[in-house]
Amino acid sequence: MWRRKPARETPQEAAATAARPAAPPATALTIDAMGRKCPIPIIMLADQINAVGLGAVVAVLADDPAAFTDIPAWCRLKSHEHVASYELPQGGWSIHVRRNY
């Protein structure tokens, strides 16, 4: 007996799905570093990440372009997880970090 092949996504449907922003995870702490230049957002994150439980997500709000690349690099260096970075409507980013230890 023959079986019908499952429908495949067209390239347009795949692009539309990829373009939809994922919902940001719930955060245990939000650090407002808007208007602060690097390395201040990283210093603020390093100082406050131990205030949340293991596996909790910290959101760092920053508008300095260096923070957009430096915070994920800090996560790799310190073995924390860079969950994602979300663009904010007023400018800047919400950079989400999960505490691993």
- 34, 38, 44, 84: the active-site residue: 38
Domain ranges for the chain, please list them. 23-98
The predicted-structure confidence for 34-74, as pLDDT tens digits, reads as follows 999 999 999 999 999 999 999 999 999 999 999 999 999 99
Based on C-alpha coordinates, what's the Rg of the chain?
Answer: 18
Which superfamily, per CATH, for 23-98? Answer: TusA-like domain (3.30.110.40)
pTM: 0.77
Q: Say whether 75 is catalytic.
A: no
The C-alpha atoms of residue 35 and residue 21 are separated, in whole angstroms, by 25
